Structure 1
Amino acid sequence: MNIEAKQQVGQSFSIAAMRHARDMTWVAVEKIAAAIRPGMHESEANALGKKLLQEMGMDRIWHPVLIRFGEDTLRTFKERSAGDPTLGSDDIFFIDLGVVWDGHEGDAGATFAVGDDNDMQRCAEAAKTVFDEVARHWRDTGCSGIALYEYAAARAEAHGWRLNVDIKGHRVSDFPHAIYKAGNLGDFDKQPAAGLWILEIQIAHPTRAFGAFYEDLLV
């Protein structure tokens, strides 16, 4: 598929609508995070996420609500959780939402630590730090998606974490983006256009069994 086709959009597409979808998805992430408490099961958190999105008036979910606790923060989107873990008093979790608002796809994710575990707090912060550095590199250099993820791996290592190189970002658009079959951002050999690509960063602690996730629209 040529570059133009990989960055194709529908007739209803607008950057303003993509920004709105992004903003609404972040509001949802924060609302869900504020409602999650130690003692809750992963399944309960996911059900809560769906309920809050419905209350917010979403069009639909375009990918399943994904909330991971503890060791499950190391798992990729397609991997099943290990049972139905309970969030501990000193623990870590992430939220990953893919939601359609006004016909456009929002996709946002972030990690949160509860309690006093310093490593978990630092890990949650580091995922966003690496994301911010990589997004800034995209804005400053206009480099390819491939180069972006090479830079992401280097920045994660510089901060003392391991990047999950199997998580490479993807397209979004007016719904449904899947018809364009554009592949992963990390395999895209040209400059990613603004408002069309989700940069995903998933890192792991070098010795302990947890990680962190952060994703947002490149704009």
Structure 2
Amino acid sequence: MTDDVVDRREAHGTDFSLASMDFARARSWEAVRLIANAVLPGMTEGEARDLAKVLLQNLGMDRIWHQCIVRFGEGTLKTFKQRPDPERVLGESDIFFVDIGPVWNGHEGDAGDTFVVGRDLEMHACAAAARTLWHDVAAKWRADDLAGTALYAYAAERAEAMGWRLNLDIKGHRVCDFPHAIYRAGDLGDFGKCPSTGLWILEIQIAHPTRPFGAFYEDLLIDTDFLEGQAL
């Protein structure tokens, strides 16, 4: 990196390591799956969020760096900053997503995925599409070294081609050894350089074109080839 502004936006602490970021990523995904398996029809969003916090504590996280988010049904269209609906109940045929931001070994995890209860085929397709689109965009990053701005332009094109609407109010963000917020890096979708491995979260949120639900998927952009020789 030669640009001082870019240096600042991709800065991190002296304890930072890619191996620790990958460990935080793996532990966060373990937690997402445990939380999702525990969310059942009849539960409210508030109950699911409280359950998520307990499960994270039981897994031994250091702390959280962003609040646990669990959205049901129409709530899956909301962004991170929009107010939750703690009384919203998960139906027998419904869709929900889990978004967590725990810290493990001083490094920030951030993982989110969408799940479906029941047999609504369009809900299942929406959840699968968010995952597929994320992996498509991540592969584009690895292959073509695209800037963050170009990655989200590509994501919008691909989402439309797949028959979904991409929410461009959700454009990814920085992570690193806690706390990343001191670097004020802004959104990945506004980052005019190719994002470095292990420092950025790619967020994908899509909406059904006509029905009131959507899907969310996020993960760390990390090239595992860079992990060789790294130590926790």
> What 5-or-longer segments of structure 1 have no aligned partner?
none
Measured against aligned partners, the alpha-carbon deviations of 1:157-182 in whole angstroms (never above 9, x if no partner) come to 11100000000000000000000000
Cα pair 2:41 2:90 within 8 Å, conserved: yes
The equivalent of 1:40 in structure 2 is 43
1:214 aligns with 2:214: no
Q: 1:193 aligns with which of 175, 192, 196?
A: 196
The equivalent of 2:57 in structure 1 is 54
Count residues in correspondence: 219
Q: 1:81 deviation in Å?
A: 2.4
> What 5-or-longer segments of structure 2 have no aligned partner?
223-232
1:175 aligns with 2:192: no
Give me the identity figure in percent: 61
Moved over 4 A (4+): none
SS in 2 for 1:214: strand
Determine the C-alpha separation between the residues in 2 that align with 1:80 and 1:209.
17
Measured against aligned partners, the alpha-carbon deviations of 1:1-35 in whole angstroms (never above 9, x if no partner) come to 70111000100000000000000000000000001
Q: TM-score, normalised by structure 2?
A: 0.93
| Paired letter, 2:156 | A
Q: 1:147 aligns with which of 146, 150, 163?
A: 150
Considering only aligned residues, what root-mean-square deviation do their CA atoms show, in Å? 0.7
Measured against aligned partners, the alpha-carbon deviations of 1:49-76 in whole angstroms (never above 9, x if no partner) come to 0000000000001000000000000000
Q: TM-score, normalised by structure 1?
A: 0.99
SS in 2 for 1:189: coil
Q: 1:2 aligns with which of 5, 8, 15?
A: 5
1:28 aligns with 2:31: yes
Determine the C-alpha separation between the residues in 1 that align with 2:200 and 2:155.
15
Range with greater deviation from structure 2 (83-92 or 31-40) = 83-92
Determine the C-alpha separation between the residues in 1 that align with 2:84 and 2:60.
28
The equivalent of 1:202 in structure 2 is 205
| Paired letter, 1:13 | F
The equivalent of 2:128 in structure 1 is 125
Q: 1:156 deviation in Å?
A: 0.7
